[in-house]
Structure 1
Amino acid sequence: MSQAPVAALVVVLTLVAVLLTSGVAKLRDRRATRDAFTALRVPAIVPADVAAPALPWVEIAAAALLLVTPSGWLVPVAVVVLLLMLAYAALVARALTFDEPVTCSCFGTLGRHDVDTTTLARNVLLTALAAVVVWFALDGGSVPSALGALDVAGWWALAAAAAAATVAVLVVGAPASAGPTASADEDLLDYERQATPYGALTLHDGTTTSIAQLAAAQARLLVVLNPGCGPCVRTAEKLDDWAARLAPVVGVVAIYPDEASARAAGEHAYDLAAWEPELNVRRVFSVAAPAAVLLGADGYLAGGPVDGEDEVAAFVEDVFGVLTEQPSPAE
């Protein structure tokens, strides 16, 4: 591998870019990094409160060491990077066996957050690249020595590879334009109402109902949650307060993926909990947890759906704001 300096440099620099990007993104969103430990159910042998803050610095340090470590000393650095990539791949593979979908901010606020087979394929590929770097290091290679071995053609090839990677990031990773936005109060007031779709629920007392039947007697705020999800836990802790503030006009229902997680939820009153067969409610609204949707008592959606911790909290505040401007049923 050390006899092909351009190829070796492309592989090493790719890992450096990934580690550096990941580390900086994690530093920018420390809470999401801590939540990822919970979402991926990292074994307790790894102390999350210590490892989560340290992880971005480990990634940044690994990226720097891959760049500057001389020949002979690169082997232990490359082995550490390989072990890190193997751990990431193993955690993702295990997460795919969980009963409920998993979201994980593996790159902080960047990239895709749904853990799926694409996530696993990405981590397997990164593991393979890390293995190539170990081979490169065992062969006596290093970034400084590989750069020193480049001729003019090699520098042009390296520049072309960097340009191609930059174009790929700009094209594939460019965020979609959000377009013009309106205030949330205006969104609720100008909401294009649709009939409440079918969705089945089992309530805390064992009663099975549809979400349309549930909202027939009282408007309902459905809050979709997952167990072991940091943003979901923090959202669940607010439900008792939301239920008190929205009563008696709107009832709050916390929807979990199964009976066990609904019965185990201790962040809010037990009578708020319900569970959905085969994730049908979140599928019909195409949302990931945490999410919320407001059902009107007239058989139509009154707001949402929205997903994301901050988005759900803002949505509930907007619903409360609209309700306080309306006369109460007793007036």
Structure 2
Amino acid sequence: MSQAPVAALVVVLTLVAVLLVSGVAKLRDPRATRDAFAALRVPPIVPADVAAPALSWLEVALAVLLLVAPATGLVPVAALVLLLMLAYTALIGRALGFDEPVTCSCFGSIGRHDVDRTTLARNVLLTALSAIVLWFAADGGSVPSAVGALDGGDWAALAATLAAAAVAVLVLSGPATDASLVPAEEDLLDYERQAIPYGALTLHDGRSTSLAQLAAAQARLLVVLNPGCGPCVRTAEKLDDWAALLAPAVGAVAIYPDEASARAAGEHAPDLAAWEPELNVRRVFSVAAPAAVLLGADGYLAGGPVAGEDDVAAFVEDVLGVLTEQPSPAE
């Protein structure tokens, strides 16, 4: 590998970029990193309150050391990067076996997504690249020595590779979109309404109901939650206040993936909890937790769905704003 400086540099620089982006993103949003520890159920032997903030600095430090370490110093750095990637891959692989979907901020605020096979494949690839860097280091290579070995053609090849990577990132990372279908309070009044789709729930008292039946007597705010999810826990803690403010016009329902998690939820009143067979509600609305949707008492959707902790909170504020502006029946 040390005899192919361009290839070695491309591999090392790829890892450097990943570690830097990940570390800086975690520094910008430490809460998301702490949430990832909870969502991925990191074993308690790793104290999240200490490890979560330290992880971002570790990634940044490893990125810098990959660039500047001499050959003798690169071996332990590369070995540590490989161990880190193996740990990430193991956590993702284990999360795929959880009963409920897992949302992980693996890259801080810019990497929040549902964990799936693509996430696992990405981590396996990064692990393989880390192994290549370790081989490169064990063979006496380093970034300074590889740069010193470049000739004119090598520089052109390296520049072309980096340019192609930059173009790929720009093309694939489209503009950020708002997860909310109704981002502002005034848009609730102009919401293009659709019939409530079929979905089944089991309520806290054991009764089964469809979404349409649930909303037949009262408009309902459905809040989709997962256990052990930081944003979901913080959202759940607001449910009692939201339910009190929305009543009597709108009833709040917290939807969990199974009965055990619904029964165990302690962040809100027990009678707000319900659970969904086979995750059918979040599938029909194509949302990850936390999410919210407003069902109208006339059999039509009245707002949403929205996904994400901040979007759910803003959505509820918009609904409250509309309810406040509506005249009471006496008027």
Question: What range is the shorter-chain TM-score in?
Answer: over 0.9
Distance in 2 of aligned mates of 1:256 and 1:329: 34
Distance in 2 of aligned mates of 1:76 and 1:289: 39
Structure 2 residue aligned with 1:8: 8
Structure 2 residue aligned with 1:76: 76
SS of the residue 1:221 aligns to: strand
Residues 1:290 and 2:285 are matched in the alignment: no
Structure 1 residue aligned with 2:326: 326
RMSD: 1.4
Distance in 2 of aligned mates of 1:183 and 1:266: 29
Question: Aligned partner of 1:22: which letter?
Answer: S
SS of the residue 1:113 aligns to: strand
Q: Which runs of 5+ in 2 are unaligned?
A: none
Question: Aligned partner of 1:68: which letter?
Answer: V
Distance in 2 of aligned mates of 1:116 and 1:152: 42
Distance in 2 of aligned mates of 1:58 and 1:183: 37
Runs of at least 4 residues off by over 6 Å = none
Distance in 2 of aligned mates of 1:80 and 1:328: 64
SS of the residue 2:223 aligns to: strand
Sequence identity, in percent? 84
SS of the residue 1:130 aligns to: helix
Distance in 2 of aligned mates of 1:298 and 1:177: 30
SS of the residue 2:41 aligns to: coil
Where do residues 74-153 of structure 1 align in structure 2 (5 Å cutoff)? 74-111=74-111, 113-153=113-153
Q: List per-residue Cα deviations over 1:239-268 (Å, max 9, x = no partner).
A: 000011111111100000000000000000
Residues 1:279 and 2:279 are matched in the alignment: yes
Distance in 1 of aligned mates of 2:303 and 2:266: 27
Where do residues 146-161 of structure 1 align in structure 2 (5 Å cutoff)? 146-161=146-161
Following superposition, the deviation at residue 80 of structure 1 comes to 0.3
SS of the residue 2:109 aligns to: coil
Structure 1 residue aligned with 2:27: 27
Distance in 2 of aligned mates of 1:182 and 1:298: 19
Residues 1:228 and 2:236 are matched in the alignment: no
Q: Which runs of 5+ in 1 are unaligned?
A: none
Structure 2 residue aligned with 1:190: 190
Structure 1 residues 128 and 50, CA gap change in structure 2 (3 angstroms): same
Question: Aligned partner of 1:58: which letter?
Answer: L
Structure 2 residue aligned with 1:42: 42
SS of the residue 2:316 aligns to: helix
Q: List per-residue Cα deviations over 1:204-248 (Å, max 9, x = no partner).
A: 010001111111111111100001100000000000000111111
Following superposition, the deviation at residue 327 of structure 1 comes to 2.6
SS of the residue 1:73 aligns to: helix
TM-score by length of 1: 0.97
Distance in 2 of aligned mates of 1:318 and 1:272: 21
Structure 2 residue aligned with 1:255: 255
Following superposition, the deviation at residue 182 of structure 1 comes to 8.3
Structure 1 residue aligned with 2:168: 168
